[in-house]
Amino acid sequence: MITGKNYIGNNLSGKGDVKFTTLNPKLNTENPSTFVEATTEEVDMAAELAWDAFKTYRKIPGKQRATFLNAIADLILELDEELVERYISETGLPEGRAKGERGRTVFQLRSFAELVAQDDWRENTFDAAEPNRKPIPKVDLRKALIPMGPVAVFGASNFPMAYSTAGGDTASALAAGCPVIVKSHPMHAGTSELVASAIVKAAQETGMPNGVFSCVNGGVDVGVDLVKHPKVKAVGFTGSITGGRALFDLASQREEPIPVFAEMGSINPVVITPKAISRRADEIAQTYADSITLGTGQFCTNPGLLLTIKDANTQNFVETLAEKTVAISPQCMLHPNIKRGYEKNGEEVTSQKGVESMAKRSEDVKVNDAPAEVATVSGTDFLNNPKMHKEVFGPFSLVVQCKDEEELLQVIENLEGQLTGTLIAEKDDNLDLETLVDVLQNRVGRIIYNGVPTGVEVCASMQHGGPYPASTDSRFTAVGIHSIKRWARPISYQSFPEELLPNYLR
């Protein structure tokens, strides 16, 4: 049941005067529920409760936290059709996507539960004392990872479950022993409240301290209150460069600066070799038409930049790619604001000198649908104009036709940090790709060979993050069990008696 209120710990609260509704982008009509934006007082209450809960929760054994995480997963599944229907009404996304994202959310929770049931994730290290060592005796030292404190998590617009209320940031922070305060995304506040109700119920049923989880509604002001609160010790964010950088700057300006782990924009360059184009242009064009339009292009790993070397086959390939891309039926975007952003950013790129729009869907486009578009430009013009590096969030891709390999490498070297880079090549290309791989790996967090960047496997070997501005700290991943390390810090115990050490260091 949707109340429209904020979860401040285990209790619902709606003290504010600012109210809002969510939109059904498919129907372009408001959804029935009204939501109350959290007040500064309510944000303060949530942060204070989280800090009090942290004193207890950080010491709760991993097996008990695992029980909590598994209970959240179970209760999300129990929400069943109510959750799926609300998700669809607030996003315009299909039922299959809703159920797929729910499955991913549950899988992440269970993965972290399995991880923290043991203490190996803490990277425990032991250096025994050597009292007789000359000239200086060696002391006993033991090191482990411990939780940092309450974490503020910002729900992502494009993943209402997997990157939001009970998504990867929340699951990994709770697993580490950190209470979480979620700021729900205003576009899917109802979906967020339903998931929040499952988390709160799970906390109560498994005996977790009140305040281990809160969920507040609101916009920029609520986010600012959260990041500035002295009891919040870290921030998780998935979204735009503008939003992530604003949070990063705000957190850096605090009296006690705190880390912001923001996963932000990316255009995910794809390099296609001349041999690959000459031998399987049609296959590559179809594969990338599907990838560009997948989920209406509303993925941070969308292939927004294709890099080729201009030759006799290149122009035909670009035309085929454009034809196949716009042939795919337009799909609804998450919100009219996102649709407007897509149109504005796309027009800014295509209006630059030397850019030619190869094809843009103009028929059967409903009010919040995104017409797919493919454009092309020379390598020289791309190098001379950084405005073409802009992420166009939606089904858009720019093909850069370089005059030779040297110019192609120069294009990659001049790109900002990216989440992914892809190589589409033939087997007999491989011996000539070493320099390209070296240049590419300096700009990205994940390199794909003969695949597509869309689709992020949730596993230990996944790196979802990259050099700035793809993320604010390229040493960490936002996906997979290693993302828990964002919310933990190392501590060493020197010459400690056994009885004072935590169990995992005895």
Mean predicted confidence (pLDDT) in 354-364: 89
Q: pLDDT grade, residue 1 (50/70/90)?
A: confident
Closest by Cα among 385, 366, 367, 365 to 375: 385
> Is the per-residue pLDDT at 364 higher than 90?
no
Mean predicted confidence (pLDDT) in 17-34: 97
Q: pLDDT grade, residue 5 (50/70/90)?
A: very high
Closest by Cα among 452, 442, 440, 446 to 477: 446
Is 263 annotated in the active site? yes
pLDDT, tens only, 266-286: 999 999 999 999 999 999 999
**Which distant-in-sequence residues (6+ apart) come within 8 Å of 71 by Cβ?**
202, 205, 206
Which residues are bridge partners to 152 per DSSP? 181, 235
pLDDT at 282: 98
Percentage of the chain modeled with pLDDT above 90: 98
113 by DSSP, 3-state: which?
Answer: helix
pLDDT at 365: 85
Provide the residue type at 235 as one letter: V
Contact 325, 284 (CB under 8 A): no
The residue assigned the tokens 């929770």 is: 109
Q: How crowded is the C-beta side of 506, counted as CA atoms within 13 Å?
A: 7
The single residue of 215, 300, 332, 402 carrying the catalytic annotation is 300
**269-449 carries CATH number 3.30.70.660:** no
Q: pLDDT grade, residue 497 (50/70/90)?
A: very high
303 by DSSP, 3-state: which?
Answer: coil
Q: Which residues make up the CATH 3.40.605.10 domain(s) of the chain?
A: 6-15+27-264+471-505
pLDDT at 12: 98
Our CA dihedral for 166, 168, 174, 179, rounded to 10 degrees, sits at -70
Pick the CATH number of 6-15+27-264+471-505 from 3.30.70.1290, 1.20.1630.10, 3.40.50.2300, 3.40.605.10: 3.40.605.10
Contact 285, 317 (CB under 8 A): yes
**CA separation for the pair 218, 184 (Å, rounded):** 7
pLDDT, tens only, 58-81: 999 999 999 999 999 999 999 999
The single residue of 37, 42, 193, 263 carrying the catalytic annotation is 263
> Is the per-residue pLDDT at 3 higher than 90?
yes
Distance of CA 328 to the CA centre of its chain: 26
328 by DSSP, 3-state: which?
Answer: coil
Contact 182, 214 (CB under 8 A): yes
Is 332 annotated in the active site? no
Mean predicted confidence (pLDDT) in 362-368: 85
Q: Please report which helix (H) or strand (E) contains residue 31, including its range.
A: strand 29-36
**CA separation for the pair 410, 145 (Å, rounded):** 41
pLDDT at 361: 79
Reported residue count of the chain is: 506
> Is the per-residue pLDDT at 20 higher than 90?
yes
Contact 401, 379 (CB under 8 A): yes
Contact 355, 381 (CB under 8 A): yes
pLDDT at 152: 98
C-beta atoms surrounding 170 within 10 Å: 31
Q: Which residues make up the CATH 3.40.309.10 domain(s) of the chain?
A: 269-449
Mean predicted confidence (pLDDT) in 416-438: 97
Mean predicted confidence (pLDDT) in 109-122: 97
218 by DSSP, 3-state: which?
Answer: coil
C-beta atoms surrounding 240 within 10 Å: 18
DSSP character for 363? S
Mean predicted confidence (pLDDT) in 289-295: 97
**CA separation for the pair 77, 464 (Å, rounded):** 26
> Is the per-residue pLDDT at 234 higher than 90?
yes
